[in-house]
Structure 1
């Protein structure tokens, strides 16, 4: 039993002593500020940066504009053949390997709200890209739940395919000629435009206003190269995960964020104090599902799934569920382009 010690009869109160102790404790706490991050320019908060963030100074040599996809046939994927019924994958090849394993292994991330994020209530992965992966599994097994999701960074997407760590990558990935030389891509499954996110009331209204500002974007993505081309006088804060840019802007460590409008809309859905401004910074972004370069049978099968969901209304139902509210309605999914 806990003992309670009573004051001795006639003892003097100790309140004054306690106040002094508390005052010393408060002063001691105030004397230990958070470690500071050196400022690059401007008047930015000096709280520590997000783990893995990189500061990239303005450049006199911005990266060259990428060649148009038409020049390398980057949008022209492999035409689907006859789609085997679920549970009846042909022997040999990658489809038989997936069927024998009993699950489709899909590379995704968990920080892209609306597309691929972890629901805080259920702890499960949700979003447009997650539903897309489940549709592929539905066509292989007849069961959309037979998926193993593996979390990848943007930088790790392509090596995961090359090393056969995953079967497919559904990770908001823009098709480029350089990437198409490394991995196989499905036909386009989503179209986006790179724009700018700023706090409401910001004086930034378009790409021309980014000169001399700090702009957050993502390591090893086409978005970073675009910012350097369009705004070479901007300082870039490059981060590893999409949500890191939201945190950095909330901490006033960057003036703007630039990436696909769809991903920016996902950030706005988490904090309505921000808004998307300005016209697209460059041309369209064509997103594809990534597959190992040497697995043509899987590329054709994924394209068969995309053909189905375009035709039976599944794509539109997915869009209306996840994307229509922040970005508005669309006439339909992007059309397929085949090279054979």
Structure 2
């Protein structure tokens, strides 16, 4: 019997191109080509070639400037423009997805940039422009200056530090695999010969091929693209961050996430252009405030706790980068 594509996924595709009342949104043309414990401590990743820890970001200022105080550097550029431009997803349920009822893009990642915009302007409303980008567009969008910041479940790693800068870690995800509900496999190592989708331009594809080089990889520019390939029978499964797969499974009653296999650590950072170190420091101050005030935990409990379980605390930031 042919499996029908659930309405939620279909609606997500249709709504990605729609505008909404509260956000200025732009669809950029395609680029070429449950644990109750705290997240793992950010000390495990190996140092980069320059000796720096991959998770070490720039230390935040002792105090953040108030919205009515004068500022300099890139923060002034954003202030003068009167809006923060953020690159986000519009189809990653619970992280950054367009609500089919309200038309608003919402989720955990969106809460991060709302907080940054609020710290700059006193309110995010009227001062936050969301530009919908695909996974392959994240780094180029920062490099060419079309966005100020990227909040799109982006893993911090040494290779990317050579291209852009990152905030301190704001969430620790891990890679899992989504398969049909009636699948007998319990591990990605049992999927040899199966066609598995992973987002293009992501660490998920690299991790998948390391874990099982015998799978047949296929890519899509968006998370929903992989979900549609799965629902059309063109992919047997999807490999990606547990945050994204939880959203996929919530949209498809014929899918499940393999529960007992997490084969990578994916520390998320907010991406920023390498030249704008002052802005990275400011963003780290905002994240520190969110974690201290409980706003970070409120956002986690709203968007991710129902699928991923309780967390005792947000990730501990690691600083120390000086250049």
Deviation at 1:89, TM superposition (A): 4.1
Q: Deviations over 1:1-35 (max 9, x none)?
A: xxxxxxxxxxxxxxxxxxxxxxxxxxxxxxxxxxx
Question: Is 1:184 paired with 2:165?
Answer: yes
Contact 1:89/1:140, CA 8 A, preserved across alignment: no
What is aligned with 1:296? Answer: 277
What is aligned with 1:74? Answer: 54
Q: 1:89 to 1:306 in 2, by over 3 A?
A: farther
Q: Deviations over 1:282-318 (max 9, x none)?
A: 3311000001101111000000000000000000000
What is aligned with 2:22? Answer: none
TM-score, L = length of structure 2:
0.82
Q: Name the CA distance, whole Å, in 2 between partners of 1:287 and 1:125.
A: 19
Q: Name the CA distance, whole Å, in 2 between partners of 1:68 and 1:320.
A: 27
Question: Is 1:147 paired with 2:124?
Answer: no
Aligned positions of 1:43-62 closer than 5 A: none
TM-score, L = length of structure 1:
0.78
Residue 101 of structure 1: which of 55, 78, 81 is its match?
81
Q: Name the CA distance, whole Å, in 1 between partners of 2:153 and 2:142.
A: 15
Q: Name the CA distance, whole Å, in 2 between partners of 1:89 and 1:116.
A: 32
Contact 1:105/1:147, CA 8 A, preserved across alignment: yes
Q: Name the CA distance, whole Å, in 2 between partners of 1:278 and 1:206.
A: 9
Q: Unaligned stretches of 5+ in structure 2?
A: 1-29, 31-43
Q: Deviations over 1:27-81 (max 9, x none)?
A: xxxxxxxxxxxxxxxxxxxxxxxxx9xxxxxxxxxxxxxx944334210001011
What is aligned with 1:206? Answer: 187
Q: 1:280 to 1:183 in 2, by over 3 A?
A: farther
Q: Name the CA distance, whole Å, in 2 between partners of 1:69 and 1:316.
A: 28
Q: Unaligned stretches of 5+ in structure 1?
A: 1-51, 53-66
Cα RMSD (Å) = 1.5
Deviation at 1:86, TM superposition (A): 2.0
Q: In terms of mean alpha carbon deviation, does 271-280 or 252-261 score higher?
A: 271-280
Residue 160 of structure 1: which of 141, 145, 148 is its match?
141
What is aligned with 1:114? Answer: 94
Q: 1:89 to 1:110 in 2, by over 3 A?
A: farther
Greater C-alpha Rg: 1
Q: Name the CA distance, whole Å, in 2 between partners of 1:89 and 1:198.
A: 53
- The higher relative CO (CA closer than 8 Å, separation ≥ 6) is in 2
SS at structure 1 position matched to 2:68:
coil
Aligned length: 274
Deviation at 1:269, TM superposition (A): 1.2
Contact 2:207/2:264, CA 8 A, preserved across alignment: no
Deviation at 1:332, TM superposition (A): 1.3
Residue 133 of structure 1: which of 78, 102, 113 is its match?
113
